[in-house]
Structure 1
Amino acid sequence: MQLILISGLSGSGKSVALKALEDAGYASVDNLPATLLSKLIALYREQGHKRVAISVDTRGGPTLAALPGAMKELSDEGVDVRLLYFEAKPDTLVKRFSETRRRHPLSGPGLTVEECIRQEQEMLAEVKALGYPIDTSELSANRLRTWIKALVGAEAGRLTVVFESFGFKHGVPLDADLVFDARCLPNPFYDPRLRPLTGLDQAIVDFFLQESSVAEMIHDIRRFLDKWLPAYRQENRSYLTVAVGCTGGQHRSVFVIEALARAFAGEQVLIRHRELPETR
């Protein structure tokens, strides 16, 4: 059985993710007290379910403390347990609550939304350490659905290396494990003919292939990963996110990420380009 647990901050996209998994054929349950997790999975196994998605978060109150033990128990029983932790920047969450006019689950007399967010972050600190963080600050609902399906489709038991490009002017991804800065590389943005293109276009590829500094940076990052990937595997991690940023996330970071993904084609690899249009 594959069990996807969804947790994280209110307003970060957990409902979108759970619905995406439900549409993909997962039996889904929202807001389950962690103390009931083992009993529910036993029931689902009796019914023959192979894929289950369950949301467990601060709405469960004190029962959240039982989650680590329940996850270990199920893993020992042979269940492929993965936890996806959703988060976003505080200002993004505040804006979402304001736009939807929804009440924060922790709201009470005298508490602002910002205070509720900080309180929730503290309550979920241990849960976050158990799973793979996903920063939805710059993601549309459609792109989040695509990322979720790619993550859960990865083969269990292998380290999945997520290569992600981004633009520093939009902020560093909260879910990045390793961050490399490509802003020192030559920038095709200043060529009016190349500016509208992205690092996926052949003209941009040809531009970077002529720049020795670009090849040197890719070589250095590759050497670093070659050396340290075994150490991350020994931690029994399921995912490692390697993020490369440039100013706007359109040219340099995209090209470098594509080159790194090809270099590590023997690994289980996922590619993300955070700033590119979803049609790319």
Structure 2
Amino acid sequence: MIVSGMSGSGKSVALNTLEDLGFYCVDNLPADLLPEFVRRVMRGEDRPEKLAVGLDVRSGGDLGVIPDVLSEVGGLGLDPKLLFFDAEDDVLLRRYADTRRRHPLSHLGLALADAIALERQALKPLRQIADVVLDTSALNVHKLRRLVITEFGLGEASTLSLLFESFAYRRGVPPDADFVFDARCLPNPHWDARLRPLSGRDKDVSDYLEAQPDVVQFAGEIAQFLDTWLPRLQSDTRSYVTVAFGCTGGRHRSVYLAERLARHARERGWAEVAVHHRELD
């Protein structure tokens, strides 16, 4: 599976989802190296059954060679499929404004709108030959993950997908959240100068929070709540549930709780569990 598309359209979510589904995934591979990469993977003792490679404007070089590259891969006995992600320009602009990430072409000194236009032109040859084009303009992270699974028949549509999301209250509550838990009542690592630059994904922050009785009680009671009600939501024909955790900056407490409860859900046997940190990702 070749995963390509516009920056900010959901390629990373797609690759993460494919990896969860058993694909061996590699991102940002130069296009002309794809055939040799496939040969090396096929010669390995632990040859993967499913392979996904991310190719996009970051890969550099002439993307117009992709059709020839895919033909060469097909000559190795594989049947490559190209999955192209797209979104409307105003949606891409809004997503970059929300995440504050740099566009891959920003090093050219272009305004964001111009960088998006140039990228769209560069990726035109890939879009034209794509087996599937997915427009993610109206999709959140969780719905996009579900679409990747169902589009290729790689999962059971009846399985409940869980998204654990962190956010900052100062930027608003995620509109698609089913459950929202406010972590602002908990001790804040922000006030520790050593922990301030870190996030809730870092061990020092998690160690600090796990040493706080209020945090342990808070997380434990939420875990009990989810253990009780998620199975009932699944039996109610729901396909996905978003559990959101908010704090002041969306960097420490909410991130830690999203990671901890996602880990708990996996330990409880939920197969489709994703995590999204709105202020970090």
TM value normalised by structure 2 = 0.52
Matched, 1:25 2:22: yes
Q: Which runs of 4+ in 1 moved over 3 A?
A: 277-280
**Structure 1 66/279 Cα, relative in aligned 2: closer, same or farther at 3 Å?**
same
Q: Which runs of 5+ in 2 are unaligned?
A: 155-237, 242-281
State the match for 1:232 in structure 2.
none
Aligned AA (1:52): L
- Displacement of 1:76: 3.1
Aligned AA (2:153): G
Cα displacement string for residues 160-203 of structure 1 (whole angstroms, at most 9, x for unaligned residues)? xxxxxxxxxxxxxxxxxxxxxxxxxxxxxxxxxxxxxxxxxxxx
- Say how many residue pairs are matched: 155
- Displacement of 1:72: 1.1
Cα displacement string for residues 111-150 of structure 1 (whole angstroms, at most 9, x for unaligned residues)? 2111111100100111101111110000111111111122
State the match for 2:91 in structure 1.
92
Once superposed, what is the RMSD of the aligned Cα atoms?
1.8
Matched, 1:80 2:49: no
**Structure 1 109/39 Cα, relative in aligned 2: closer, same or farther at 3 Å?**
closer
CA distance in 2, matches of 1:36, 1:101: 31
State the match for 1:106 in structure 2.
105
- Displacement of 1:278: 5.6
State the match for 2:149 in structure 1.
149
CA distance in 2, matches of 1:109, 1:20: 31
- Displacement of 1:70: 1.0
State the match for 2:60 in structure 1.
61
State the match for 1:37 in structure 2.
34
State the match for 1:16 in structure 2.
13
CA distance in 1, matches of 2:7, 2:240: 28
1:33 and 1:64 in contact (8 A); partners too: no
- Displacement of 1:279: 4.7
1:33 and 1:63 in contact (8 A); partners too: no
Cα displacement string for residues 3-26 of structure 1 (whole angstroms, at most 9, x for unaligned residues)? x10101000000000000011110
- Partner SS for 1:62: coil
CA distance in 2, matches of 1:91, 1:136: 12
Aligned AA (1:46): R
- Displacement of 1:85: 0.5
Alignment of 1:243-262 (within 5 A): none
State the match for 2:199 in structure 1.
none
- Partner SS for 2:125: helix
- Partner SS for 2:29: coil
CA distance in 2, matches of 1:109, 1:33: 19
**Structure 1 58/109 Cα, relative in aligned 2: closer, same or farther at 3 Å?**
closer
1:11 and 1:97 in contact (8 A); partners too: yes
Matched, 1:46 2:23: no
Alignment of 1:230-269 (within 5 A): none
- Displacement of 1:63: 4.3
- Partner SS for 2:129: coil
CA distance in 2, matches of 1:279, 1:146: 8
Aligned AA (1:130): I
1:143 and 1:278 in contact (8 A); partners too: no
Q: Which runs of 5+ in 1 are unaligned?
A: 155-276
CA distance in 1, matches of 2:72, 2:3: 18
CA distance in 2, matches of 1:41, 1:152: 21
